[in-house]
């Protein structure tokens, strides 16, 4: 944010206009945080607002210049590019009409077409001349944005394009350290999760001896399903990043190759200690799909439809250490030990009460408020609990002693 404020202030000073940084920051925050406007668009909007406020006509947009993808090296340029559409991705917001990867002979770059642009859709494998697109940058990665002033012209001659600026790399999971790379992985499927979007065919956790990583397989990729516990070579994946955590996406150009080898999965163990403050919905006695192991919603699997599910026990809990909270997933065996009830006993209890929720209520009464120390691999927002031990609660005397130390210091 500070960098954007400085850029706007500098442009205003060029026009002999002085605006307090607090006012610039306030308008930027409102656009970026409240209305989710991209940083580049927000910067232009705020700059033009203050120019108009001081009676200065907004600066005219520079005429666009024709460039190669590899020549895009900074944000805020208006350019023309002849490209081929390499892949289309599922938009993360309704404000985006299309997003994906485009390229030419010099490399590839992400594009975003805003819904309000009113522009026609691009097609995978087709070539286009894109006029008056704006370059942008986020965390050192460049992209281009198509807006109301942009133009799309189909080309009869196919543009020769590289699949990626660096090509596909054979990597270990632990070597994935930035988004936008095309990689091949030799992995085992550790877990499959229930999907929360029709756009996603499968998601879950895959890993090799160096660690594990989240994967997403788009429905439009039209790829075969992978199975929990099986090993595969996954080719031509795209790495992604969100809030500092990496993942890989399978798209139309990806491939799935089953292998006989049982890939060993290493883990990056996390530890957390605190009070169990909540047993979340989806805990207790649940049913899973016998094929893909997803939990069922009213007897329906998101992948296989209505099935005769198998019972399981689990806890989706929240642990609070006083400064932050941590979601945890606890499997059947550990749940049975903690609660003091077996799966068969839980099924009997639910049948007698004609309500599965009695099991979750029992868990809540026995566990909430107790202090635990857990360890296990961290996956997305969860720790998959491998070990859990009860800890002693912090006493009032210990709190008073710590307060005394702070006061002395």
C-alpha–C-alpha distance, residues 370 and 366, integer Å: 8
The answer to which of 74-83, 165-174, 248-257 has the lowest mean pLDDT is 165-174
C-alpha–C-alpha distance, residues 366 and 350, integer Å: 17
Better-predicted residue by pLDDT, 8 or 40: 8
pLDDT of residue 243: 54
Whether the predicted pLDDT of 268 surpasses 70: no
Q: How many helices (H) and strands (E) does the chain have?
A: 7, 23
Confidence at 165, pLDDT banded by 50, 70, 90? very low
Structure tokens at 101: 């990867």
How many C-alpha atoms does 65 have within 13 Å on its Cβ side? Answer: 9
Better-predicted residue by pLDDT, 304 or 288: 288
Structure tokens at 359: 């099991």
C-alpha–C-alpha distance, residues 331 and 326, integer Å: 16
CA dihedral sign of residues 220, 224, 229, 230: negative
How many C-alpha atoms does 135 have within 13 Å on its Cβ side? Answer: 24
Confidence at 166, pLDDT banded by 50, 70, 90? very low
pLDDT of residue 352: 87
Question: What's 340's DSSP letter?
Answer: T
- CA of 206: how far to CAs of 53, 184, 237, in Å? 54, 13, 13
Whether the predicted pLDDT of 10 surpasses 50: yes
The β-bridge partners of 138 are 141
pLDDT of residue 343: 94
Give percent of the chain with pLDDT exceeding 70.
87
pLDDT of residue 56: 66
The backbone torsions φ and ψ at residue 360, rounded to the nearest 5 degrees and listed phi first, read: -65, -40
Whether the predicted pLDDT of 208 surpasses 50: yes
Confidence at 279, pLDDT banded by 50, 70, 90? very high
> What's the average model confidence in pLDDT over 321-337?
91
pLDDT of residue 82: 96
**pLDDT tens-digit series, residues 75-129:** 888 899 999 998 787 776 778 889 888 999 888 888 999 988 889 999 988 999 9
Within 10 angstroms of residue 129's Cβ, the number of other Cβ atoms is 15
> What's the average model confidence in pLDDT over 195-205?
82
Whether the predicted pLDDT of 257 surpasses 90: yes
Better-predicted residue by pLDDT, 28 or 56: 28
C-alpha–C-alpha distance, residues 97 and 114, integer Å: 5
The backbone torsions φ and ψ at residue 370, rounded to the nearest 5 degrees and listed phi first, read: -85, 155
pLDDT of residue 265: 86
pLDDT of residue 219: 85
Give percent of the chain with pLDDT exceeding 90.
38
Mean pLDDT rounded to a whole number for the chain? 84
3-state secondary structure of 99: strand
Record the pTM. Answer: 0.45
Confidence at 7, pLDDT banded by 50, 70, 90? confident
pLDDT of residue 311: 93
DSSP string, 208-257: ETTEEEEEEEEGGG--PPP-TT-EEEEEEEEEEEETTEEEEEE-TT-EEE
Whether the predicted pLDDT of 399 surpasses 60: no
Structure tokens at 246: 């990496």
> Of the candidates 139, 140, 155, which has an alpha carbon nearest to the alpha carbon of residue 80?
155
C-alpha–C-alpha distance, residues 130 and 81, integer Å: 5
CB 378 within 8 A of CB 268: yes
């Amino acid at each position: 944010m500070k960098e954007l404020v400085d850029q706007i202030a500098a442009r205003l000073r060029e026009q002999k206009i002085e605006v307090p940084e607090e006012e610039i920051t306030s308008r930027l925050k409102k656009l970026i945080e409240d209305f989710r406007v991209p940083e580049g668009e927000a910067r232009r909007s705020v700059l033009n607002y203050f120019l108009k406020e001081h009676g200065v006509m907004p600066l005219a947009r520079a005429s666009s210049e024709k460039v190669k993808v590899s020549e895009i090296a900074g944000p805020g340029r208006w350019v023309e590019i002849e490209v081929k559409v390499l892949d289309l991705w599922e938009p993360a917001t309704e404000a985006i009409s299309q997003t994906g990867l485009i390229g030419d002979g010099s490399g590839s770059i992400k594009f975003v077409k805003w819904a309000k642009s009113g522009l026609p859709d691009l097609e995978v494998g087709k070539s286009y001349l894109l006029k008056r697109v704006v370059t942008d940058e986020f965390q050192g990665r460049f992209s281009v944005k198509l807006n109301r002033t942009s133009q799309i012209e189909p080309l009869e001659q196919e543009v020769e394009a590289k699949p990626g600026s660096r090509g596909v790399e054979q990597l270990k999971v632990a070597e994935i350290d930035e988004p936008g790379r095309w990689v091949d992985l030799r992995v085992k499927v550790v877990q499959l999760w229930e999907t929360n979007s029709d756009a996603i065919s499968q998601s879950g956790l895959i890993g090799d001896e160096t660690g594990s990583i989240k994967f997403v397989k788009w429905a439009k990729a039209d790829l075969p399903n992978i199975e929990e516990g099986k090993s595969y070579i996954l080719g031509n994946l795209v790495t992604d990043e969100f809030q500092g955590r990496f993942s890989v996406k399978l798209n139309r150009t990806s491939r799935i190759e089953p292998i006989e080898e049982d890939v060993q999965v290493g883990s990056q163990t996390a530890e957390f200690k605190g009070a169990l403050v909540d047993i979340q919905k989806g805990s207790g006695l649940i049913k899973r799909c016998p094929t893909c192991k997803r939990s069922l919603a009213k007897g329906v699997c998101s992948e296989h439809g209505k099935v005769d599910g198998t019972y399981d026990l689990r806890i989706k809990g929240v642990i609070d250490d006083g400064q932050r909270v941590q979601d945890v997933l606890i499997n059947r065996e550990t749940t049975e030990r903690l609660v003091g009830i077996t799966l068969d006993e839980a099924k009997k209890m639910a049948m007698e009460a004609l309500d599965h929720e009695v099991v979750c209520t029992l868990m809540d009464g026995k566990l909430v408020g107790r202090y635990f120390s857990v360890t296990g691999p961290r996956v997305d927002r969860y720790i998959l609990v491998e070990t859990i031990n009860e800890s002693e609660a912090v006493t009032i005397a210990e709190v008073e002693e710590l307060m005394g130390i702070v006061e002395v210091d």
